[in-house]
């Protein structure tokens, strides 16, 4: 079933992918990191409104180190959490001349968790890292039911098993997974009857039989 889901998901993605500026394949590590850092607890469309202006004003990590924190705050104010985010970005810029490219180092940065680190390295460096946020958890929990484990470590291992070891393929799969959770397998009214996974989705089979 896992292979079937993966193939169906990628076919669905061909016609339903979302377009965001940070998804361009030539984006730098810093540019992808900025997006993923802001996407935590913030809708993607909101980040898309601020992202070009932020990069225009602060195009590199070094430019953040030289910037007036109040200017950073005012730029990202529409996203919320602007003070905490500014403090974290300034601290990162003070500590590093360039962003680290190892997961353990990234997760040691302020306000950078496993998801941000994995997404940054997958989308910027094409590292085959699984990404597991609450939307991905919802998708996997619905599709695979009891086969999807509890626990952060176990869930990451489960997601890793579904991922190709090829970096570009892993990148595409992870983007597809994010878009599927955002567009189709939403928290409310997921539209199961028209979903490609309806035949084998544990969630749909259980609700359809009620």
Helical (H) or strand (E) element with 140: helix 134-144
Half-sphere exposure of 6 (CA within 13 A, CB side): 15
At 148 the three-state DSSP class reads coil
What is the residue-wise DSSP string for 58-121? --SHHHHHHS-HHHHHHHHGGGS-HHHHHHHHHHHHHH-SS---SHHHHHTSTT--HHHHHHHH
Q: Which of 31, 36, 73, 94 is the catalytic position?
A: 36
Instruction: Name the residue with tokens 């979903």.
Output: 195
36 is catalytic: yes
Residues that are catalytic? 36
């Amino acid at each position: 079933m896992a292979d079937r889901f993966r193939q169906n998901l990628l076919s669905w993605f061909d016609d339903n992918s979302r377009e965001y500026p940070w998804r361009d394949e030539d984006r730098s590590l810093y540019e992808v990191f900025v997006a993923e850092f802001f996407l935590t607890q913030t809708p993607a469309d909101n980040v898309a409104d601020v992202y070009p202006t932020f990069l225009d004003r602060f195009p590199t990590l070094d430019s953040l180190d030289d910037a007036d924190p109040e200017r950073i705050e005012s730029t990202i104010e529409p996203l919320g959490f602007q003070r905490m985010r500014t403090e974290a970005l300034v601290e990162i810029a003070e500590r590093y001349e360039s962003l680290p490219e190892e997961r353990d180092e990234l997760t040691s940065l302020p306000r950078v968790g496993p998801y941000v680190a994995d997404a940054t390295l997958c989308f910027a460096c094409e590292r085959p890292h699984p990404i597991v946020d609450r939307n991905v958890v919802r998708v996997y929990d619905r599709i695979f039911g009891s086969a999807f484990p509890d626990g952060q470590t176990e869930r990451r291992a489960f997601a890793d098993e579904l991922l190709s070891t090829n970096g570009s393929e892993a990148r595409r799969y992870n983007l597809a997974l994010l878009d599927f959770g955002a567009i189709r397998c939403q928290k409310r009214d997921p539209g199961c009857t028209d979903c490609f996974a309806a035949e084998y989705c544990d969630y749909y089979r259980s609700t359809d039989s009620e």
